[in-house]
Amino acid sequence: MSRADTAAYAGGPAAAGDPGVRRWFWTLGLFRSEVTTTFRRWRTLALLGVLAAVPVLVGIAVKIETGDGGSAGGGAGQGPAFIAQITNNGLFLVFTALAATLPFFLPMAVGVVAGDGIAGEASAGTLRYLLVAPAGRSRLLLAKYAATLAFCLVATLTVAVSALIVGALLFPLGELTTISGTRISLSEGLWRALLIALVVAASLIGLAALGLFVSTLTNSGIAAMATTVGLLIAVQILDTIPQLDALHPYLFSHHWLSFADLMREPVHWDDLLSNLRLQLIYAAVFGSAAWARFTAKDITA
């Protein structure tokens, strides 16, 4: 084989007439593999289980509290505004559940999955085998990020679908009243619910990038998860300190509850767009940082 060897050095098997299109399609295989590996982890399923349980608890609590015909909540603010309407319309459980999980449960789950991304593979030692496969560092990082975003979407939809089912079982469904007081049909309401779920999922884009960056800094999956969740809590606390007003617009969680504006008639876009813009900036900044770090890193684990 010596003669053929030297000739083949130039190309390798991949270069043997494979059209680029097919290579691109094959590259999706890594993303698919990433997604299935993530969702077959016991930890991922447990996180989704917790998220699915939140609407059940909220629904039952509201049902019990209003069992004697009274009305729950009724205070000012966005969350309670939704909660008060649940007894009239189960669809409001979707909005309530998303508002209840967005500050902590949802981003915590995303922080765990994102933080585990690279560091978890490093601590298991599987990272070196993915890289000699060769997954390619940029390609692997991209697949990790895409899979994390897929998890953001699935996690949000888990909350929404669980809330919709519980809401439909415990409460009536029908026409609903927007925050602005106008009435929309149930099908229009379902569309809004889906849109809101997508916006909530998109709110997690920035945190996902931050978590993945943290994940490239250490070889310990646990450390990366804990750091990301710690950062999440720190940012949430900073966002409540009035003296740090100037800082607030730059915190990734600052516009999170703007999704409620989708329930106005007409929709208030300002805050929604600020949120999306901020998420994209975080994704760009921390995505680049993660890339710079990961492509230059010595893989010693």
Partner 1 sequence: MSAGAGASPDAAPVIETRGLSKRYGGQLAVDRLDLSVPAGSVFGFLGPNGSGKTTTIRMLMGLIDPGAGTVRVLGHRMPDAARTVLPQVGALIEGPALYGHLSGRDNLVRYDSADPTADPRTRKARVAAALDRVGLTAAAGKRAKAYSLGMKQRLGLAAALLTPRRLLVLDEPTNGLDPQGMREIRTLVRELARDGTTVFLSSHLLDEIEQVCTHAAVMAKGRLVTQGPVEDLAATARGRLAVSTPDPGDAVRVLKENGVTGIAVESGDRVTGDPPPDGDLAELTAALVGAGVRVRGFGLERASLEDVFMQLTGEGFDVTG
**Alpha carbon distance 166, 170 (integer Å):** 6
Name which position in 48, 140, 166, 214 contacts partner 1 (CB under 8 A): 140
Read off the DSSP letter of residue 298: -
Q: In 3-state terms, what secondary structure has residue 267?
A: coil
Taking CB under 8 A as the binding criterion, the range among 19-27, 64-72, 150-158, 225-233 that sits at the site for partner 1 is 19-27
Q: Does 299 bind partner 1 (CB under 8 A)?
A: yes
User: What is the secondary structure of 213-252 as a DSSP string?
Assistant: HHHHH-S-HHHHHHHHHHHHHHHHHHTT-GGGTTTGGGST
Q: Does 292 bind partner 1 (CB under 8 A)?
A: no
Q: Does 130 bind partner 1 (CB under 8 A)?
A: yes
Whose Cβ is closer to partner 1: residue 8's or residue 57's? 8
User: Using an 8 Å Cβ cutoff, are 218 and 294 in contact?
Assistant: no
Q: Does 138 bind partner 1 (CB under 8 A)?
A: no
Helices (H), the chain: 2-8, 20-39, 42-65, 78-83, 92-101, 105-124, 126-132, 137-170, 186-202, 205-217, 221-238, 270-296
Q: Does 9 bind partner 1 (CB under 8 A)?
A: yes
Taking CB under 8 A as the binding criterion, the range among 27-35, 48-56, 236-244, 280-288 that sits at the site for partner 1 is 27-35
Cα dihedral 27, 31, 37, 40 sign: negative
Whose Cβ is closer to partner 1: residue 9's or residue 187's? 9
Q: Does 8 bind partner 1 (CB under 8 A)?
A: yes
**Contact footprint for partner 1 (CB under 8 A):** 1-2, 5-6, 8-15, 18, 23, 26-27, 29-30, 32-33, 37, 40-42, 124-126, 128-136, 139-140, 296, 298-300
